[in-house]
Structure 1
Amino acid sequence: MRGPVAVRRVVHTGAVIAEHALTWSPRHPTDLLQTIGALRRGGGDPTYHRDERGAVWRTTRTDEGVATLRYTQPASDELRCEGWGPGARSGVASAPELLGERDDPGDFEPGIRLLDDAHRRNPGLRIPRTGRVFEALAPAILEQKVITLQAHDSWRRLVWRFGDAAPGPTPRKMRVAPSPERWASIPTWEWHTAGVDPRRARTIVNAARYAARLEEAVAMSPSDAAARLTLMPGVGAWTAAEVAQRALGDADALSVGDYHLSNYLGHALWGRDMTDDEMLVAMAPWAGHRYRVVRLLGAAGVRGRPRRGPRMSFVDHRAI
């Protein structure tokens, strides 16, 4: 297999001219949509769009500036990224890592038939690694203690209101998530309008002020990265794991404290309810790949605990 080709400037793609582009063959089988889909924050995410041709458009903020990136899979063993904007060069150069180039499932042992089947049927599922810590942290904080739909609604509102216009020929209007400085300057009433309670708002604002220190977690070990993240008031083990899964490419980051996860895994793998402590003991055989197990079960459509009670309710903080 050939490795990544050199980043090229000004690349024609039909009627579209990309400012930077990269084509490569990944080390491991990689399914573009299964891998990058973990980065989307709901169907209306202003930073993510899949067009009618199957290409994924995603915006990001690099050290060099904002960028719009277009990811495609021309062949089963070939991936391509094209970029526009001031941050396009570095965004395109980091595309292989974002699409799981560092993710090595070589020592993953499913151990049971259910996981073996899921792994065999989803050979291209990789764990992404964006390398952008605060970019993953802000939406993870919004998802604390509320239903996912509510968090995604808040994310959409805030990104549209305070983000930057996406550069390049996006197929629909898109936005780049706000910079840490912009997150830190959002007025109290705007958080309220977006349905974000004061505790989550304070957590994001405080973390934004230390964003540069948080970005250092990219070069740390998983345990040191988690320690750095959880130094922030309001950022616990669950939030740190959600960040590690996306920004750090951590295939072991298990979202302990999740409202549903322990019972989902308990029923999917062992047919019973579980506490978080029981889940941690039961997942020990897959140490190093516990998040991979969660992703594989989801990709295989494995059902968890039968629903017996009401869903978590939508809490409208704008009415409080």
Structure 2
Amino acid sequence: MSTPRTLTLPDGVHPATLETDRGSFATLMAVPELGTPLGTVLLVPGWTGSKEDFTPLVDHLCRYGWRTVAVDQRGQYETAGPAEPSAYTLEELGADVVAMSKALGGYSQLVGHSFGGLVAREAVLTDPSVFSTITLLCSGPGAFTDDVKRQALQMLAFGLDNLPIEQVYDLKLEHDSKAPAYVAPAEDIAAFLRKRFTGNVPASLAAITRRLMDAEDKTERLAKSGVRTQVVYGEADDGWPIPVQRAMADMLGVEAQVVPDAAHSPAIEQPAATARLLVDFFHDVDRFNQFVE
């Protein structure tokens, strides 16, 4: 989850519904005012997150000339979803992202943050023809292996299965607020975080939580997909261990890129620097062609 610094949308960034052959998805979208867009960037958020995790990045990427679309996945915040846990496998979520890219015209520059990186990878493996690139932003190769993280995830999934989601949020907040580094957000941001968490379909959030404990490492398959790949993380990222992300980049045959003065949410913490890394990668086709030759 990322914590927005403001809920005010930049000029040109607006809510929109993306209609696909797999349903409707809530988005934040921006389209360059002048000229033809260079292409489409599709941003997929992570666990307990939402499209708002990308708000400043949507603005920056649009200013570079890209139509930019940040989404809520099925069952996430403002996108509806079924109550059946089977609807939230990585395969189902990945197929949604394929449908989103097709609805946007295909050839998307795909960016997956944290858990969204696992979904983005699944989408590329499902149909690589509708993506130009994939960026794994503060993401990892598969399930968490750290015992402390896994125990916390198990407790959350159990709570979502057995308690009202509002109570689960309050218990989680009580736990998180005891951490030494915890900083209470402003009142409006705190209200948004609660609204967003409790807006999730409980079965969706429980299933996604379990995916973080059982996701298969498919890095080798991604490396063979033919889709250009980028690995980016904040220098103080506390999600997947940084050595794990570096090893994933090595397996993909790319050099991991680091966002200075950022942790697990570079799109909010350093949107300008993150956007610059992304657009440089989107345009770096010649270097890729040299590499594959």
Normalising by structure 2, report the TM-score: 0.28
Larger-gyration structure (1/2): 1
Looking at both structures, which has the greater relative contact order when contacts are Cα pairs under 8 Å and sequence separation is at least 6? Answer: 2
